[in-house]
Amino acid sequence: MGRLNGKTAVITGASSGIGLCIAKAFAQEGAAVAICARGLEKAQTAADSIRSSGAQALALPCDVASDDSVNALYEAVVREVGPPNIVVNSAGYYAISRFLDTPLDVYERTITVNYLGAVRMIQKFLPDMIEAGHGKIVNIASTAGKWGSMFQAHYNGSKHAVLGITKSLAIEFAKTGVNINAICPGWVETPMFDEGMAQFADAANMTIEETRGVWLSRVPMGRFLEPEEIGPLAIYLASDESNGMTGQALTISGGMVLI
């Protein structure tokens, strides 16, 4: 305990799923956390649950697809808790559909949230980290950023882009004291995962049970991950223990082997 004492973390997409579990894990390690999500009510509920354990948590609205929203988030965070030491880009948009049936606006939405959302957050919060001489940026990517997946060209493309910017910025800012890394989860049991499985089943003309069986067959551990299992890896990347690591994309996937 206490690996993040004295740290302040801003986490997008933190009202549910992986983002929420990372926020709770950070709070348990002593960080003050800003719970950021499009829905303020859900963010407040999440922050209340963290504060009930004695930790510091702040709920703030943010749509990472909007420049104005990210700018307002930055101003609110700095005003309330000061420049953060840690930024976790966990907000995401996930949809599954056949390539020829996917309209361009789905590609635009996916890129705007998954890739440009991270760009907006980094552009806004990175300068303060550089000035302070230290900071941690953790991008939640996906195994979809390392391989191709059926019916997910738009999603996979966005996550490849997240890994690209992670590596590029890590090199550009390697001497500033800011570490920029990514986590690549495999299949994790979240509401977004459930929606994606239903969409895949529809695109593949399969039942959800058949789809679940096919997906499980690709996981050597024979199970999907729980969102709480991502938290410890995020803690490591946000802590001083990972000061020598930057530009890495760490996979946690139940043993799925990636090329």
Residues 171, 123: contact at Cβ < 8 Å? no
HSE value, Cβ hemisphere, 13 Å, CA-based, for 25: 22
d(CA 99, CA 240): 43
DSSP-derived 3-state class of residue 173:
coil
Residues 122, 136: contact at Cβ < 8 Å? no
Q: Which of 74, 115, 155, 236 is catalytic?
A: 155
d(CA 174, CA 249): 16
d(CA 229, CA 252): 9
d(CA 13, CA 93): 10
d(CA 158, CA 20): 22
Amino acid at 216: L
Helix (H) or strand (E) holding 58: strand 57-61
Return the percent helix, strand and coil in the chain, to nearest 5. Answer: 50, 15, 35
d(CA 105, CA 3): 42
Does the annotation mark 115 as catalytic? no
What amino acid positions are annotated as catalytic residues?
Answer: 155
